Amino acid sequence: MNGAQALIRTLVDSGVDTCFMNPGTSEMHFVAALDKVPEMRGVLALFEGVATGAADGYGRIAGRPAASLLHLGSGLGNGVANLHNARRAHTPLVNIVGDHATYHLKYDAPLTSDIASIAAAVSPGWLRTSASSADVGADAADAVAAAYGPPGQVATLILPADVSWGDGAATAAPAPVPSRAAVDGSTIDAVAKVLRSGESVAILLGGTTLREAALGAAARIAAATGAKVLAETFPTCLERGAGVAPVERLGYLAEFMQFQLQGVQHLVLVEAKAPVSFFAYPGKASELTPEGAGVHTLAALGDDGTAALAALADAVGAPAQVLAAAVQAASRPELPTGPLAADSAAAVIGALLPEGAIVSDESNTASLALPAMTAGAPRHDWLTLTGGAIGQGMPVATGAAVAAPDRKVLSLEADGSAMYTLQALWTQAREGLDVTTVIYSNRSYAILNVELGRVGAETGPKAKAMFDLSQPPLDFVSLAQGMGVPATRAETCEDFAAQLERAIAEPGPALVEAVMPAITL
Which 3 state secondary structure label does DSSP give 510? Answer: strand
Antiparallel, parallel or unpaired: β 409-414 and 435-441 = parallel
37-45, 201-209, 310-318, 349-357 -> range binding a copy of itself (CB under 8 A):
37-45
Site for a copy of itself in 109-128 (CB under 8 A): 109-111, 113-115, 117-118, 120-122, 124
Among 174, 388, 495, 508, binds a copy of itself (CB under 8 A): 388
Where do the DSSP E strands lie in 462-504?
487-490
- Residue 402 CB, nearest approach to a copy of itself (Å): 15
67-75, 182-190, 220-228, 350-358 -> range binding a copy of itself (CB under 8 A):
67-75
| Closest of 264, 190, 272 to residue 227, by C-alpha | 264
* CA-to-CA separations, 494 to 336, 376, 489, in angstroms, rounded: 7, 21, 12
128-136, 239-247, 264-272, 457-465 -> range binding a copy of itself (CB under 8 A):
457-465
- Residue 476 as a binder of a copy of itself (CB under 8 A): the answer is yes
For residues 328 and 364, which CB has a smaller minimum distance to a copy of itself in the complex? Answer: 364
Beta bridge partners of 157: 96, 128
- Residue 197 as a binder of a copy of itself (CB under 8 A): the answer is no
Alpha-carbon gap, residue 38 to 6, rounded angstroms: 13
- Residue 339 as a binder of a copy of itself (CB under 8 A): the answer is no
80-88, 261-269, 309-317, 433-441 -> range binding a copy of itself (CB under 8 A):
80-88
- Residue 286 as a binder of a copy of itself (CB under 8 A): the answer is yes
Helices (H) and strands (E) in the chain, counts: 21, 18
For residues 254 and 412, which CB has a smaller minimum distance to a copy of itself in the complex? Answer: 254
- Residue 103 as a binder of a copy of itself (CB under 8 A): the answer is yes
For residues 73 and 216, which CB has a smaller minimum distance to a copy of itself in the complex? Answer: 73
The answer to whether the beta carbons of residues 52 and 27 sit under 8 Å apart is no
How far the first Cα of the chain sits from its last, in Å, is: 61
Q: How far does Cα 379 stand from its chain's mean position? A: 18
User: What's phi and psi for 412, nearest 5 deg?
Assistant: -100, 115
Residues whose CB falls within 8 Å of the CB of residue 117, separated by 6 or more in sequence, listed in order: none
Site for a copy of itself in 486-505 (CB under 8 A): none
- Residue 355 as a binder of a copy of itself (CB under 8 A): the answer is no
Compute the C-alpha angle 498/500/502, nearest 5°: 70
- Residue 18 CB, nearest approach to a copy of itself (Å): 13
Among 475, 491, 495, 501, binds a copy of itself (CB under 8 A): 475
For residues 113 and 200, which CB has a smaller minimum distance to a copy of itself in the complex? Answer: 113
- Residue 43 CB, nearest approach to a copy of itself (Å): 9
Among 178, 226, 482, 507, binds a copy of itself (CB under 8 A): 482
Beta bridge partners of 285: none
- Residue 104 as a binder of a copy of itself (CB under 8 A): the answer is yes
For residues 48 and 357, which CB has a smaller minimum distance to a copy of itself in the complex? Answer: 48
For residues 73 and 305, which CB has a smaller minimum distance to a copy of itself in the complex? Answer: 73
User: What's phi and psi for 58, nearest 5 deg?
Assistant: -60, -50
- Residue 42 as a binder of a copy of itself (CB under 8 A): the answer is yes
- Residue 138 CB, nearest approach to a copy of itself (Å): 23
For residues 355 and 468, which CB has a smaller minimum distance to a copy of itself in the complex? Answer: 468
Alpha-carbon gap, residue 505 to 217, rounded angstroms: 35
Site for a copy of itself in 248-277 (CB under 8 A): 273, 276-277
Among 235, 391, 393, 399, binds a copy of itself (CB under 8 A): 391
| Closest of 85, 11, 43, 76 to residue 398, by C-alpha | 43
Compute the C-alpha angle 505/439/207, nearest 5°: 85
Among 39, 108, 255, 506, binds a copy of itself (CB under 8 A): 108
- Residue 462 as a binder of a copy of itself (CB under 8 A): the answer is yes
User: Which 8-state DSSP code applies to residue 458?
Assistant: -
Q: If you write DSSP's letter for every residue of 249-277 in order, what string do you get?
A: EPPSSHHHHHHHHTT--EEEEES-PPPB-
Indicate the Cα dihedral angle 207, 209, 211, 212, nearest 10°. Answer: -170
Site size with a copy of itself, rule: CB under 8 A: 104
Site for a copy of itself in 131-170 (CB under 8 A): 161-162, 165
The number of residues making up the chain comes to 521
For residues 123 and 225, which CB has a smaller minimum distance to a copy of itself in the complex? Answer: 123
- Residue 508 as a binder of a copy of itself (CB under 8 A): the answer is no
Site for a copy of itself in 319-338 (CB under 8 A): none
For residues 104 and 502, which CB has a smaller minimum distance to a copy of itself in the complex? Answer: 104
Neighbours of 322 (CB within 10 A): 16
- Exposed, middle or buried by CB within 10 Å (0-12, 13-18, 19+), for 471? exposed
